[in-house]
Amino acid sequence: MKQVPLLATLVILAVFATAQTIQPIDKIKLEKKLDSLFRFFNNKNSPGYAITVLQNGKPVAKKDYGMASLEFKIPFTHNTVITLPYSEGREFISIAAVLMEEEGKLKLEDKVRKYFPQLPAWSDAVTIQDLLNHSSGFCDEWATLALTQASMNNRLDVSQFLNFLYRQPDPQVEPGKGYMYCNSDFGLLRLILDKVSGEPLPVYLKRKVFTPLKMYATSMQVRKDDMIPDHAFSYISDGDNGYRPHLRNKTSPGGNYWMLTSANDLEKWTAIHADGNSFISKAISRLKQHARPIPVLKGTSYVFGHKINRMGNYEVISHKGVSGYAYVTRIPSATISVICVSSYWQPYEEKIDELAKWLLQVKDEKQSDVKKFPSTAIALSKEELQQFTGYYRVQNALTFQSTVEKKSYKEFKLVGDSLSWVYTSDDIFAVMPVGKGIFKDPGFPVWLIYDQPHPDSVMTLEIHSQFEGNVDVEYLRKDTAARPQYSKESLQKITGRYYSPHLDFYWTIMLDDEGKLVLKRPTIADKYLEPGPDGEFMLKVQYYEDDESTNWIRFYYNAAGEVTHFNIWHPRLMHHRFDKVAN
């Protein structure tokens, strides 16, 4: 009889023991846990959720909450069709690329200029794999084109998108080595897949993937105004205990890959992933061969939409993008899976993580981070409040966007007899002193903890947010450098007309009657350039009506002290140059 090596035996026993630690899930207790997690949506006046928990491939509980249509009071069900957010759709597109490779239509190592030779010469080495890794160096369509338009809902045709890439003067990151989250990468990938397959990608996915798997409610949306049976609107909070439709829907190659699906269809998607011999599992294995984890995210997160993390002794695979919409969560060694879809446009990954920890009987370490702070107002004099005023820079401000730290400040100043938090020039509210160096947001469970151990040390600030027991702590440090003061004459040198050859677009900078710099663009309402630290100017760039990002502008001068150009940047727009032109 053949002997089994001792080490192999121990490994087998360990795996077996781990699998045995999960007992059959108690359906009644599970449903109570789900009711607790989604209690705020168990009514007819909120968006809806559908949740399925499977063990050994079979549903233990299937629960529905809230509405698919608030307008018509239609309940949310497991058959309700929802739209996955942008990055969540990348799993399906990436799998399509592998399937086309298996058919001999392309190779992931192919150079992208093979398919679009007019792409710039600097991109000669860029491959399809680089698109899949967000290491191409191409400009992000959204972040860059926001410089010319006030809304990302604006239509962008294929020819406009390609010309945008053809004119790019240099890479944003080193091709094949750098990282920058880039919608253009998957926009270009989608066009390559259309070209090599000889049919639109939605048709290909339906024929090769969804119909064979009998996922009849799942598709890649063709047009944003298509009539989809059982399709739910997406909703967002209106900020006043109500909800309104979320109508953001970018029509462009870089954003037009909306995926539609339902909770019931995702059961089939979960089952095919659990089958290690399925064509989907083999496609995922191929994707992982040269996939590089996103370097700025915890755990192992791939651009194609899988995050691999650990809970206790268990490996947890989340099917998600970068925004926290974990529509499928699988725990293979425990043979447990969770499916969750919603009509509420709000990340729910934390709810799924809490549920997974409960199912695995893993202690939630985050609970130990919850701290109790006072909430009763105390009186402080203006002199006492003055020490907390100023600008505070956010520390360790890396996001999923790139390896460039986000430059972000929060301002606090005295308004009347109160210390006030300056969100924007139009949104300023007082924070309430509740203890020594402790202030509270009067409307939310948010506390500000100031600390200065010694009069010669720099004031630090911790912002603790504790919503529904979930703790988020932001660390800031007071910026003690004096902000540059600009004379009218020095600002006058900055004024003039600037041109971006990449975008073929002009900006005009002027001084208004109050001596402030005003940016004028033919397609966007006027904006102020606000002086910031380090000799840079801050510009709020609008993506949507209620969504702005902070961009930073640095002006460059020649030996005569005349402005020659400026660069505008943020973590997803590494550098974009506007040259000053003669009037």
pLDDT digit string, tens, across residues 349-404: 999 999 999 999 998 655 556 788 999 999 999 999 999 999 999 998 888 999 99
189 CB-near residues (< 8 Å, 6+ apart): 93, 97, 128, 131, 132
Extract the tokens encoding 371: 């701290």
* Chain region(s) in the chain for CATH 3.40.710.10: 83-137+172-363
pLDDT at 8 over 50: no
Q: What is the pTM of this model?
A: 0.89
- Tell me which residue of 140, 148, 150, 248 sits closest to 542, measured CA to CA: 150
Position 16 confidence tier, pLDDT thresholds 50, 70, 90: very low
- Residue 304 has phi, psi (to 5 degrees) of -75, 5
pLDDT in the model for residue 11 = 36
Q: How far apart are CA 60 and CA 30, in angstroms?
A: 8
Q: How many residues comprise the chain?
A: 583
CB atoms within 10 A of CB 403: 14
**CATH class of the domain defined by 83-137+172-363:** alpha beta
Q: Is 143 exposed, middle or buried (0-12, 13-18, 19+ CB in 10 A)?
A: buried
CATH number given to 488-581: 2.40.128.50
Is the Cβ–Cβ distance between 261 and 270 less than 8 Å? no
CA 313, 319, 325, 329 torsion-angle sign? negative
pLDDT in the model for residue 370 = 73
Q: How far apart are CA 562 and CA 485, in angstroms?
A: 18
DSSP string, 29-49: HHHHHHHHHTGGGSSTTSB-E
Query: Angle at CA 400, nearest 5°, toward 398 and 402?
Result: 70
- What 3 state SS string does 47-98 have? ECEEEEEEECCEEEEEEEECEEECCCCEECCCCCEEEECCHHHHHHHHHHHH
* pLDDT tens, residue by residue, 81-118: 999 988 898 999 999 999 999 999 999 999 999 999 99
* pLDDT tens, residue by residue, 208-248: 999 999 999 999 988 877 889 999 989 998 877 899 998 77
Q: Is 528 exposed, middle or buried (0-12, 13-18, 19+ CB in 10 A)?
A: middle
* pLDDT tens, residue by residue, 508-534: 999 999 999 999 999 899 999 988 888
Q: How far apart are CA 281 and CA 218, in angstroms?
A: 18
For 299, 423, 439, the CA distances from 466, given in Å and listed in that order, are 23, 19, 14
Is the Cβ–Cβ distance between 99 and 89 less than 8 Å? no
Q: Does domain 382-478 have CATH number 2.40.128?
A: yes
pLDDT at 549 over 50: yes
CB atoms within 10 A of CB 444: 10
For 83, 154, 321, 366, the CA distances from 260, given in Å and listed in that order, are 5, 21, 15, 33
pLDDT in the model for residue 468 = 65
pLDDT in the model for residue 460 = 97
- Mean pLDDT check: name the lowest of 174-188, 218-232, 242-256, 257-271: 242-256
pLDDT at 12 over 60: no
* Mean pLDDT rounded to a whole number for the chain: 91
Task: Tell me whether strands 300-301 and 517-521 are parallel, antiparallel or unpaired.
Answer: unpaired
- Residue 205 has phi, psi (to 5 degrees) of -60, -40
Query: Angle at CA 250, nearest 5°, toward 245 and 251?
Result: 125
Query: Angle at CA 219, nearest 5°, toward 51 and 141?
Result: 100
